């Protein structure tokens, strides 16, 4: 497994990796200790069975006694196996446990070899034991094991040289060969253990890094949720604010407008011409203020995403005709002429009636406001553009027009073409901003073309079926 090219981990990850590695190591020690505890018992039993099978009795002429090997298998075997088995159960994971197990394992091997009369197969026990001990992945356990094997050979070679290999000359080569096999296996297992440990460390590091990343991402997720909640509560606060401000602003205005109208009526009753003009000014100011407030509240509602559309089917021609009469006084105020071209097949439209009227009223009102002794034209037609059916309203005037710069900013709130324009022509600078937003809310669009001194042309395109075009969340059918 290629090692990942990572930058050096921050301390927290490195520490956690060490922790995980130590934990994993310990788990392996405990697990293997328990395994060996069972193995010890198994070997003990095997030893007894071997002794009983191979050399159950020792004979002295006609007298037989239980063979020494049987007693050895039972008691010596039991002694060899008991301590490591108990340690494996009660002190699993301790270094002393596994070193004891290593020693006991090889001693048991020596015993088993004797009990089986030196069968060649039993010698395999040595190699098997070493390999099994490597399951600990701690190369150090191989050391006492190898020492025991070596000591066994050495001691027997010293005290009972015959028992080891017989003729001395041959034995030296033998000894070398046996040692070579054991050393070879030791080296192999040593390398294998080291490799395993390196892998374990690597895994621990990756796991720690992964934990860290997961924690970060869940932190981020939590933060995101908090931010989202904050945004939501901010939006809710805004709507609540809107709701209460709406009420707060309109209530006194209600009184102002009502009183001014009342006083005007009473003055007319008592034929008092004096206060009439003043009262008219109050009334007019009140209405102006109302217009501003409505505009601001509308805009805020749209911005807060709280503006919902009320969709209904209505006849465009009828609405246009009605609007024409509504704006007539405004048009006449500046001695303008209104021309309406509404094609016969415009038909019905499924949209927000109130908002559509608002849009058209605003555009027509603007046209009337900025034109003197000119012509205001309203063209209404049904148009099919690439699969979408729209109704197109074009308001053209022969008024003052706008510069290119003014055209660019005209749909932004509070930018009238010019500050001077506001003072000269009145208005709040909100109308077109609201028109633009209403248009887009209904899935349509508005655009302007103008020439300074020659006039302006506003084009509004609205889909015939708003519901088909716009996200359902925005409207209440």
Partner 1 sequence: MPKILLVEDNEASADALARRLERRNFSVVIAPDGHQAVSLARSTQPDLVIMDLGLPGIDGWDATAIIKADVDTRHIPIIVLSAHAMPNDRHQALAAGGDDFDTKPVQFERLLEKIEMLLTTRGVSASASDI
Partner 2 sequence: MFSRKPFSGLFRRGRVWLGALLVLWFAGVGSGLWAVWAYDNRPGAAAAAPSHWPTGTALASNPSGPTLVFLAHPQCTCTSASVDELAEILARARTKPRTYVLFLKPANVANGWEQTDLWRRAAQLPGARVLRDDEGVEARKFGVETSGQTLFYDKHGTLTFSGGITGSRGHAGENAGELALISLLTDGRADRRATNVFGCPLFAETD
Binding site for partner 1 (CB under 8 A): 243, 246-247, 250-255, 257-259, 261-262, 265-266, 269, 286, 290, 308, 310, 476
Contact by Cβ (8 Å): 348, 355: no
Q: Under the criterion CB under 8 A, does residue 5 sit at the interface with partner 2?
A: no
Find, among 188, 301, 242, 205, the residue nearest to 12 by Cα. 205
- Residue whose CB is less far from partner 1, 214 or 265: 265
Copy the structure tokens of residue 171.
């034995």
- Residue whose CB is less far from partner 2, 1 or 63: 63
Cβ neighbours, 10 Å, residue 51: 25
List the single partner that 269 binds among partner 2, partner 1, none, CB under 5 to 8 Å by kind.
partner 1
Cα 466 from Cα 434, distance rounded (Å): 18
CB of 252 to partner 1, least distance (A): 7
- Residue whose CB is less far from partner 2, 52 or 392: 52
- Residue whose CB is less far from partner 1, 261 or 449: 261
- Residue whose CB is less far from partner 1, 309 or 380: 309
Cα 416 from Cα 410, distance rounded (Å): 6
Q: Under the criterion CB under 8 A, does residue 83 sit at the interface with partner 2?
A: yes
List the single partner that 167 binds among partner 1, partner 2, none, CB under 5 to 8 Å by kind.
partner 2
Cα 30 from Cα 314, distance rounded (Å): 82
List the single partner that 272 binds among partner 1, partner 2, none, CB under 5 to 8 Å by kind.
none
Residue 232: enclosing H or E segment and its boundaries?
helix 168-269
Find, among 82, 71, 94, the residue nearest to 37 by Cα. 82
Cα 417 from Cα 404, distance rounded (Å): 10
List the single partner that 60 binds among partner 2, partner 1, none, CB under 5 to 8 Å by kind.
partner 2
Q: Under the criterion CB under 8 A, does residue 91 sit at the interface with partner 2?
A: yes
Handedness of CA 392, 393, 396, 401 (dihedral sign): negative
List the single partner that 455 binds among partner 2, partner 1, none, CB under 5 to 8 Å by kind.
none
CB of 259 to partner 1, least distance (A): 5
Instruction: Output b/e per residue, 342-379; b: 16+ Cβ within 10 A.
Output: beeebeebebbeebbbbbbbbbbbbbbbbbeebbbbbb
Q: Pick the binder of partner 2 from 13, 28, 111, 130 (CB under 8 A).
A: 111
Q: Under the criterion CB under 8 A, does residue 118 sit at the interface with partner 2?
A: yes
Residue 296: enclosing H or E segment and its boundaries?
helix 274-303
CB of 415 to partner 1, least distance (A): 27
Between helix 77-90 and helix 95-115 the angle, nearest 10°, is 160
Q: Pick the binder of partner 2 from 76, 330, 367, 462 (CB under 8 A).
A: 76
Cα 413 from Cα 203, distance rounded (Å): 60
- Residue whose CB is less far from partner 2, 112 or 309: 112
Cα 365 from Cα 291, distance rounded (Å): 13
Instruction: Output b/e per residue, 411-437; b: 16+ Cβ within 10 A.
Output: bebebbbeeebeeeeebbbbbbbbbbb
CB of 69 to partner 2, least distance (A): 8
Q: Under the criterion CB under 8 A, does residue 164 sit at the interface with partner 2?
A: yes
List the single partner that 247 binds among partner 1, partner 2, none, CB under 5 to 8 Å by kind.
partner 1
User: Nearest 5 degrees, angle CA 429-CA 432-CA 436?
Assistant: 140
CB of 409 to partner 1, least distance (A): 30
Cα 143 from Cα 390, distance rounded (Å): 90
Q: Pick the binder of partner 2 from 7, 61, 329, 387 (CB under 8 A).
A: 61
Q: Under the criterion CB under 8 A, does residue 332 sit at the interface with partner 2?
A: no
Handedness of CA 138, 144, 149, 150 (dihedral sign): positive
Q: Under the criterion CB under 8 A, does residue 129 sit at the interface with partner 2?
A: no
Contact by Cβ (8 Å): 185, 127: yes
Between helix 431-441 and helix 353-369 the angle, nearest 10°, is 150
Q: Under the criterion CB under 8 A, does residue 141 sit at the interface with partner 2?
A: no
Q: Under the criterion CB under 8 A, does residue 117 sit at the interface with partner 2?
A: yes
List the single partner that 243 binds among partner 2, partner 1, none, CB under 5 to 8 Å by kind.
partner 1
Task: List strands edge to edge, sheet with 475-476.
Answer: 348-352, 309-315, 475-476
Count of residues that bind partner 2 according to CB under 8 A? 45
Sole window of 69-77, 196-204, 390-398, 447-455 interacting with partner 2 (rule: CB under 8 A): 69-77
List the single partner that 254 binds among partner 1, partner 2, none, CB under 5 to 8 Å by kind.
partner 1
CB of 19 to partner 1, least distance (A): 58
Q: Which residues are at the interface with partner 2 (CB under 8 A)?
A: 54-64, 67-69, 72, 75-76, 79-80, 83, 86-87, 90-91, 96, 100, 103-104, 107, 110-111, 114, 117-119, 156, 159-160, 162-167, 170
């Amino acid at each position: 497994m290629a090692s990942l090219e990572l930058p050096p981990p921050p301390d927290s990850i490195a520490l956690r990796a060490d922790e995980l590695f130590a934990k994993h190591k310990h788990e392996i020690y405990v697990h293997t200790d328990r395994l060996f505890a069972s193995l010890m018992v198994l070997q003990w039993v095997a030893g007894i069975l071997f002794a009983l099978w191979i050399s159950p009795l020792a004979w002295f002429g006609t007298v037989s006694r239980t063979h020494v090997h049987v007693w050895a298998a039972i008691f010596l075997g039991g002694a060899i196996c008991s301590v490591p088995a108990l340690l494996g159960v009660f002190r699993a994971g301790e270094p002393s446990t596994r070193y004891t197990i290593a020693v006991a394992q090889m001693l048991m091997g020596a015993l088993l070899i004797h009990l089986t009369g030196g069968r060649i197969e039993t010698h395999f026990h040595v190699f098997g034991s070493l390999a099994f001990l490597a399951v600990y992945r701690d190369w150090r356990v191989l050391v006492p094991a190898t020492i025991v094997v070596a000591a066994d050979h050495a001691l027997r070679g010293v005290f009972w040289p015959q028992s080891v290999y017989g003729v001395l000359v041959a034995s030296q080569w033998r000894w070398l060969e046996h040692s070579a096999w054991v050393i070879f296996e030791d080296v192999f297992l040593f390398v294998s253990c080291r490799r395993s440990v390196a892998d374990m460390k690597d895994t621990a590091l990756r796991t720690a890094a992964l934990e860290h990343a997961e924690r970060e991402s869940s932190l981020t997720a939590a933060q995101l949720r908090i931010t989202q909640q904050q945004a939501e509560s901010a939006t809710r606060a805004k709507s609540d604010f809107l709701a209460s401000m709406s009420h707060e602003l309109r209530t006194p205005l209600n009184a102002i407008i009502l009183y001014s109208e009342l006083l005007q009526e009473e003055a007319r009753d008592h034929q008092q011409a004096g206060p009439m003009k003043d009262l008219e000014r109050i009334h007019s100011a009140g209405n102006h203020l109302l217009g501003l407030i409505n505009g601001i509240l509308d805009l805020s509602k749209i911005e807060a995403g709280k503006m919902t559309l009320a969709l209904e089917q209505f006849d465009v021609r009828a609405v246009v005709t009605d609007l024409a009469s509504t704006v007539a006084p405004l048009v006449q105020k500046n001695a303008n002429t209104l021309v309406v071209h509404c094609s016969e097949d415009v038909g019905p439209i499924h949209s927000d009636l109130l908002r559509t009227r608002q849009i058209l009223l605003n555009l027509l009102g603007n046209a009337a406001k900025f034109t003197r002794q000119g012509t205001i034209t309203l063209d209404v037609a049904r148009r099919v553009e690439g699969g979408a059916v729209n109704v197109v309203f074009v308001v053209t005037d022969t008024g003052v027009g706008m510069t290119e710069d003014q055209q660019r900013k005209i749909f932004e709130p509070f930018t009238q073409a010019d500050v001077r324009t506001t003072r000269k022509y009145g208005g709040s600078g909100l109308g077109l901003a609201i028109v633009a937003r209403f248009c887009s809310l209904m899935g349509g669009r508005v655009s302007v073309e103008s020439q300074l001194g020659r006039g302006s042309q506003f084009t509004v395109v609205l889909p015939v079926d708003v519901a088909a075009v716009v996200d359902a969340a925005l409207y209440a059918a």
